[in-house]
Amino acid sequence: MSQGAALSRVHSSASPDPFEYLHRHMDDVLGDGGILKEVVQPGQGPPVPQNASVLMHYSGFLEYSDRPFETTTNLKHPRMMKLGRDVTLAGLEMGLLTMQKGEFSRFLLQPQYAYGELGCPPFIPAAAVVLYEVQILDFLDSGQVDDFMALSLEEQNTVPLSTLLEVVHTLRSFGNRCFKQSRYDNAKDRYKQALMLLGNREAQSSAEKERIKTALLPVYLNLSLTELRLDSPHKALKYGNKALEIDSANTKALFRCGQAYLELHEYESAQSCLITAQAKKPFDSDINNLLRRVAILYKDSLDKQKDVYTKMFRDCCVH
């Protein structure tokens, strides 16, 4: 549903008081009339938890206006916002806590739950009632991450390993969301945070050590790909090799190293990695296509070197 479409219909059917019309079809969230809600499209699953990081689209409207005073719909990607930090309106945050994944709802906020008696000039007048249209695309319960990060290093090492691995999984999931939005620096920060937590863990047994190594592998692979996107092939190669130290036969790690070597113009090393990967996955189109590209560039490089040496030899003979 297009943002503001409902307001256009309300203008024609209930003008000049569109918010009063909406009021009749909304539920009172708190019981004091300050936050009213209308579910346009229901969601699924549990509601958004406190301290979650929420991936969403939203638009804010003043009464009698089809044009939002703020919106994310003109952005390339939806916003990922952390409750308690990025969401500054009390009414909007309380409203988000009532929503489910996939839900699209409208919230009518009285001034005490929005911009107050003073408003926010020049865009929001004093004592303004505002309407927000919100769509929850996804959310991550990052409260557990916050609690874990608040612990000292000593305290973190007393927490069950399963808890640490859950925190690492959440950080990776957050990083993956950022990566899909091409926010590579943000993704890198999350992956590095996960890497740090795993590196700080003091394994209590060989079994724990293996579980930590298993958790490290995908983090190294994530970081290697992210560094490639950030045009840092040396770092991408470092993380790819770290992954290979854990699993020398990992085709993703071999492929990442091949990509990094290619960017560094080290064609022989790139070819070696990719041939090893191809032996394990002979029908993988990504591996085969990159291997063909490397072979062409490697041949061109050798031909150029040959031409240089030939010219040098001729010059020496002339002199």
Average model confidence (pLDDT) for the chain? 90
Q: Are 134 and 96 in contact (CB under 8 A)?
A: yes
* pLDDT value, residue 143: 84
Q: Are 40 and 50 in contact (CB under 8 A)?
A: no
The pair of three-digit structure tokens given for residue 161, joined into one six-digit string? 């390993």
- What does the pLDDT look like over 211-257, one tens digit per residue? 999 999 999 999 999 999 999 999 999 999 999 999 999 999 999 99
Q: Are 240 and 220 in contact (CB under 8 A)?
A: yes
The CATH number of 5-140, from 1.10.460.10, 3.90.1300.10, 3.30.70.120, 3.10.50.40, is 3.10.50.40
Closest to 133 (Cα-Cα) out of 28, 14, 2:
2
The residue among 16 and 235 whose pLDDT is bigger is: 235
- What does the pLDDT look like over 101-140, one tens digit per residue? 999 999 999 999 999 999 999 899 999 999 999 999 999 8
The CATH number of 143-318, from 3.40.50.10420, 3.40.50.620, 1.25.40.10, 1.10.3720.10, is 1.25.40.10
- Average pLDDT estimate for 13-22: 73
* Amino acid making up residue 276: T
The answer, yes or no, to whether residue 165 has pLDDT greater than 70, is yes
* Block residue for tokens 């854990």: 246
Closest to 240 (Cα-Cα) out of 206, 289, 276:
276
Gyration radius from the chain CA atoms: 27
Q: Where are the domains of the chain?
A: 5-140, 143-318
pTM given for the model: 0.73
